[in-house]
Structure 1
Amino acid sequence: MSTDSEYQNAAIMSQKKRVLMICLGNICRSPIAEAVFENEISKRGLKNQWEVESAAIMGYHINKIPDHRALTTLKENGIINYSHRARQITQNDFDKFDWIFGMDNENIQDLNSIKPKKCKTRVELLGSYDSSGEVIIQDPYYDNNSAGFQKAYEQCLRSITVFLDKHSD
C-alpha cells in the first residue's frame, strides 16, 4: 500500500525535466557534464525542477568510476561530492529523458541511430548551447595530461549555464 508521501514524491518526479548526458564511455565528458549540471541546479535552487544522469554509447567501462583526471578536474573546480558508476544507454532512456545530450557528432549519430521512431526526447549536442560557439566537446581520454578535462569542464559549464537560463522556470 502506498502512502500519501509516496504519491507526492511520484508526482514531483513526474514534473521534473530530465537530462541525460552521453559520451562514448561515460568516464570522461558525460560524468563531468552530469556533475556540472547537478552543481548548477543545486546552486540555483532548482533540484525540484531538474534531474540529470549520464551514460555511455558503448559498454567499455560499465560500473567503473570516472577517469581520475575527470574527478580531479571536478574537485579543482569545487565539485567535491560527485560519485558515479558508468552505465550504457538503454532504449528506456528515450522514454525517461526530455533531453539527451551528446558531446560530439559521433555521439549524435549513434544516438539518432538507436532512437525510437516515435520519441519525445530531444537529442542535441550539449555544445550547441556554448556561449563561445565551441560546439564539439572533444574526448580528453587519450590526452597525456588533464588539460582536455579542464577544457571539457569549461565547455560544459558554459553550455549548461545557457541551457538552464533558457529552460528553467
Structure 2
Amino acid sequence: MIEIERKFLVKNDSYKELAFSEKRIVQGFLNTHPERTVRVRIKGEKGFLTIKGKGNSTGTTRFEWEKEIALPEAEALLKLCEEGVIAKKRYEVKVADHIFEVDEFYDNNKGLTIAEVELTDEQENFLKPDWVGVEVTGEIKYYNSQLSRNPYKDW
C-alpha cells in the first residue's frame, strides 16, 4: 500500500505510437486535504475509490489504498465531489522493465501532459525515454488533486 513514483513533464507525443493501452479517465475528489486525498475515478468502464496519504519529503513515496467499486457507485460519488473534475486520457508505455503512465489532460488542464513511473524503491534505476522531459516529482501543483483546484489554464 506504499506508492513510489516519479513524475515528468512530456516533451512531445511520440509516446502515443509506443502505447499498448489507452483509456479515458474522469476523476473527482471528495477530499483534497494536504494530509490525505480521497479520489473517485472512472477509468474506462470501471470505478475506483482511492485514498492517498501525504508524501515524504521528496514527494516520491506515500500511502495509497485503492478499491474497485461498481460503475454506478462511482458515477454517483462523482456528483458529490469538490468542484474541478479532471478529464484525461492515459496511455501506458512499456520502457525496458517499467511501465510509464502518460496522462494527457483535457478541459481546464488542456496542454498539460505528465508521465509517471512506479518504482519498487526510491533509488531504483530506470530508463528515461527521450519523450520525457523535466522531472516534477514532489511539485504539488502537478498533483491531480491540485490541478482540480488550480487548473493548468490558470497558471
TM-score under structure 1 normalisation?
Answer: 0.32
Q: Which of the pair is proportionally richer in strand?
A: 2
Which structure carries more relative contact order (alpha carbon 8 Å, separation 6+)? Answer: 2
TM-score under structure 2 normalisation?
Answer: 0.33
Q: Which of the pair is proportionally richer in helix?
A: 1
Greater radius of gyration (CA): 1
